[in-house]
Amino acid sequence: MPDGSLVKGAPGNFPADRALAYHLRAQAASTRAPEKFLETTRLGQRLLFGAPWLRPDPVAAMEAMSIEEIAAVYEAIPPGVSTRVNLSPLIPAQIPDLIGVGRRRHLDRTGLVRQRDIADLMRYAALVQGANALDRFGDLQLLEPLPDPARLNRYSDEQLFALALYLCSLRPPRNPNPTDEAARRGREVFFREGCAACHTPPLYTNNMLTPADGFTVPEEDRARFDVLARAVGTDPGLALRTRKGTGYYKVPALTGLWYRGALEHSGSVAALEDWFDRRRTRADYFPTGFRGAGVRTRAVPGHEFGLDLPPGEKRDLIAFLRTL
């Protein structure tokens, strides 16, 4: 937080990917086998992020990069945004807010895991804390051969249950934003414009999935999942071009916006004022969050709701959103 305090469960702002870029450069400068180091680094990108069933594989470009170019990819990822296994440093994700996670129906930006009860949260924690090393994507197997399960360690059910209980116990800090006249007017704008249809109180999400642009919803999915009838036009990269891709994004909760950092599923904008700026949909826009290595301007498309409100109503709406 600006005052130096920490909020347990809130999105972190440690620049982990930029630290990785620093260490890559340092290792490259000190290694006695630069060609081997480059080969190993490229292989690591393929193992962690490759999706060879896609044509072209979005990560394939990194197999022709130098160490400096790979480091630049990681250096371009700002605080509040992170790459992680099965995503891509080219298509990172906004770090999620864990406060309120027990009330989310889906986990991951793409709704990859359904959360029906606390056992699903326990399984998800085990998966992302090591079990994903055993992932297999068709012919792509991360570990070959697979290790003998009898020789591996695992978290106990008691440990995972305790962790899940802790996550569900997280509460937001006291909100310093007043519910003043501007916030009350903003609340009226919020309901008048129909925002509550997707961002339904009291969670400020309807916990549904929205299809990504370019994805055709299978009929069986409409029967199995809660899928909105329309796409909102946001960039489909996470949903269609990573291993965590499902074709969907989950409708995000708006609670806690006041203490979060980067916004949008890839953290492309840094503040609510930027999100409601019509200019963000233009190709000459300078994103205030994640842009990408070597990228100066690009559009932050989609979710155009509220972009054409009068300036005063935008300010009021933002004031209301910061009270949630």
Whether 233 has a pLDDT exceeding 80, the answer reads yes
The reply to whether 64 and 31 lie within a common domain is: yes
CB 306 within 8 A of CB 317: yes
C-alpha closest to that of 263 among 318, 308, 312: 318
The domain of 121 spans: 101-169
Cα gap 112→193, rounded to integer Å = 30
Residue 70 and residue 148 share a domain: no
For the segment 220-233, the average pLDDT, to the nearest whole number, is: 92
Task: Let me know whether 126 and 237 are in one domain.
Answer: no
- Name the token pair of 187: 């609340």
Clarify whether residues 72 and 130 are in a common domain.
no
52 prior amide bond cis, ω within 30: no
| Same domain, yes or no: 242 and 120 | no
Domain boundary among 169, 199, 225: 169
Does residue 185 sit in the same domain as residue 310? Answer: yes
CB contact set of 264 (below 8 Å; sequence gap of 6+): 94, 234, 275, 289, 300
- Length of the chain equals 324
Banded pLDDT at 315 (limits 50, 70, 90)? very high
User: What is the Cα–Cα distance from 260 to 1, expressed in whole angstroms?
Assistant: 9
Residues in a beta bridge with 211: 248
Residue 126 domain-assigned (yes or no): yes
Distance (Å) of CA 20 to CA 41, 254, 297: 12, 31, 24
pLDDT at 162: 98
DSSP 227: B
- 62 with 109, same domain: the answer is no
| Predicted model pTM | 0.92
Assess if residue 120 is contained within a domain. Answer: yes
The predicted structure's pLDDT at residue 230? 86
Residue 280 belongs to a domain with what CATH number?
A: 1.10.760
- What average pLDDT does the segment 19-25 reach? 98
Do 112 and 201 belong together in one domain? Answer: no
Domain limit, last residue, from 139, 169, 199 = 169
Q: From the centroid of its chain, how far is CA 231?
A: 18
Q: What is the pLDDT of residue 179?
A: 96
Contact 9, 98 (CB under 8 A): yes
Alpha carbon distances (Å) from 110 to 47, 179, 222, 241: 21, 33, 16, 11
Q: Give per-residue pLDDT as tens, 88-143.
A: 999 999 999 999 999 999 999 999 999 999 999 999 999 998 888 888 888 777 77
* Helix (H/G/I), strand (E/B), else coil: 269: strand
Question: Does residue 10 lie in a domain region?
Answer: no
Domain shared by 57 and 117, yes or no: no
Residue 243 and residue 305 in one domain: yes
Residue 9: pLDDT over 90: yes
Instruction: Report the pLDDT value the prediction gives residue 38, as an integer from 0 to 100.
Output: 97
The pair of three-digit structure tokens given for residue 82, joined into one six-digit string: 């992170």
In a domain, 221, yes or no: yes
Number of structural domains in the chain: 3
145 band by pLDDT with thresholds 50, 70 and 90: confident
- Grade residue 225 by pLDDT with cuts at 50, 70 and 90: very high
Q: Is 256:101 a contact under the CB 8 Å cutoff? A: no
Q: Are residue 185 and residue 264 in the same domain, yes or no?
A: yes
Place 244 in a pLDDT band, splitting at 50, 70 and 90. very high
Q: Which alpha helices (H) appear in the chain, and where do they start and end?
A: 16-30, 34-49, 67-75, 118-128, 157-169, 181-192, 219-224, 237-240, 272-275, 311-321
Radius of gyration of the chain (CA): 21
What b/e readout covers 152-181, taking b as 16+ CB neighbours within 10 angstroms? eeebeeeebbebbeebeebebeeeeeeeee
Pick from 2-16, 161-175, 281-295: least confident? 2-16
CB–CB of 261/11 below 8 Å? yes
Task: Give a yes or no: residue 5 inside a domain.
Answer: no
pLDDT at site 138: 80
> What is the pLDDT at residue 280?
97
Residue 94 lies in a domain: no
Phi, psi of 32, deg, nearest 5: -95, -5
Q: Let me know if 71 is exposed, middle or buried by CB neighbors in 10 A (0-12, 13-18, 19+).
A: buried
Give yes or no for residue 167 having a pLDDT over 90. yes
Instruction: Report yes or no on 176 lying in a domain.
Output: no
Residues 214 and 303 in one domain: yes
Is residue 227 scored above 90 in pLDDT?
yes
Give domain status of residue 8, yes or no: no
Which of these three, 35, 61, 86, is where a domain ends?
Answer: 86
Q: Compute the average pLDDT of residues 203-207.
A: 97
* pLDDT tens by residue, 249-294: 999 999 999 999 899 999 999 999 999 999 999 999 999 999 999 9
Alpha carbon 313 to chain centroid, angstroms: 28
Calculate the average pLDDT of the chain.
94
Percentage above 90 pLDDT, the chain: 87
